[in-house]
Amino acid sequence: MIIRQRVHWLKMLFIWKGSVLKKIMVQLAVITLFSLAIYYFKGKVLDYKVHLNPAIFTLIGLALAIFMGFCNSASYDRYWEGRKLWGVLVNETRSLTRQIFSFVNDQGPDAYEEKQKITKVIAAFCWSLNDYLRDKPGTHSLDHLLSKEQIRQLQGKKFIPNIILGFIADWLNDQHSKGNIDSIIMASMDERLNQFSTILGGCERIHNTPLPFAYSVLLHRTVYLYCFWLPFGLVDIVGWMMPLVVLLISYTFIALDAIIQEIGEPFGEEENDLALNSICRTIEYSIFEQAGIQQEQPVIVHSYVVD
């Protein structure tokens, strides 16, 4: 995802990165060429004049706009729910880290180092959830956060975030057994882990349950049929401006169709998907700062956050 500062309205007209225009340029070019052909032949197909009343397109366009609005709302709901889940994860990781450093009363010589290690495991959960939602198998992003023994235990596992939650639970249980965590505080920390599990389940629900395919097919077909029929209805009314008008209308409908498909899968790696890498870096940086772990600043290039 692109995280960009607000730009001048004139620059917004020419922004390329983040626009779906590059995805639909071929479709728009085909429709424009088709419109030019219809204009050249005066709306005739094999000497047969195709008569389509423009009023028909008003009715169809209104119905299509309503249906696209419904699909857009459904896609954005999935996108925003995913963002809210990751927002809760940011809060919960910070709270759990704070509780570990404030309420775990381990007085051993390696106590602080052990707390730093479990902080890295918390960060590893976030990165593993990122990889899981993006269908990236393996532990390549966890090598700097987990021990070799923990990495070995994750080999061949599919639900890695859930296994890492077990690592955190085992550490807390061990500290509780040693008397380093009060039972009331332990219950609060367990509630944090339950929240982690709820976030994991919520993200899985979005990831594994896309928008019904029938909706996508119906919307896609209707948009393109509308755009290819439109030149016949406008050729006798708009004249030589017809290809430009068709291009503008087609851009609106086809671009919105592309956006609906893109944000409907919010955990992907396209430009308008959620910036999961950026969120994970934010979590890692903030809880490492709490734990006193040396780290590098998040990578920022100009107005973009690298994701």
Chain segment 15-27, per-residue pLDDT in tens:
777 788 888 999 9
| pLDDT tens-digit series, residues 264-289 | 999 998 888 899 999 999 999 999 99
Location of structure tokens 């639970």: 169
Q: What pLDDT was estimated at residue 95? A: 95
**Per-residue tokens: 190:** 């367990």
Q: Work out the average pLDDT over 24-48.
A: 88
Picking from 254, 267, 268, the residue whose alpha carbon sits closest to that of residue 64 is: 254
Quick one: what percent of the chain has pLDDT higher than 90? Answer: 55
Does the pTM surpass 0.75? The reply is yes
Q: What pLDDT was estimated at residue 45? A: 79
- pLDDT at residue 203 is higher than 60: yes
- Give the pLDDT band of residue 296 (cuts 50, 70, 90): low
Q: Work out the average pLDDT over 52-67.
A: 86
Q: Long-range contacts: 221-229, Cβ < 8 Å, 24+?
A: 222/64, 222/67, 223/64, 223/68, 223/253, 223/254, 223/257, 224/27, 224/254, 226/57, 226/60, 226/61, 226/64, 226/253, 227/31, 227/253, 227/254, 228/31, 228/34, 229/52, 229/57
Q: What pLDDT was estimated at residue 81? A: 96
Picking from 236, 300, 261, 184, the residue whose alpha carbon sits closest to that of residue 43 is: 236
| pLDDT tens-digit series, residues 142-181 | 998 999 999 999 998 999 999 999 999 999 999 999 999 9
AA identity, residue 239: G
Picking from 196, 205, 208, 117, the residue whose alpha carbon sits closest to that of residue 163 is: 196
Q: What pLDDT was estimated at residue 297? A: 60
Query: Across the chain, which distance is largest between two alpha carbons, in Å?
Result: 92
**Per-residue tokens: 38:** 């219809």
For residues 292 and 6, the model is more confident at 292
Give the span between the Cα atoms of 127 and 125, in whole angstroms: 6
Q: What pLDDT was estimated at residue 1? A: 57
- pLDDT at residue 259 is higher than 80: yes
Q: What pLDDT was estimated at residue 304? A: 37
- Do the Cβ atoms of 189 and 96 come closer than 8 Å? yes
Mean pLDDT for the chain overall:
88
Give the span between the Cα atoms of 161 and 165, in whole angstroms: 6
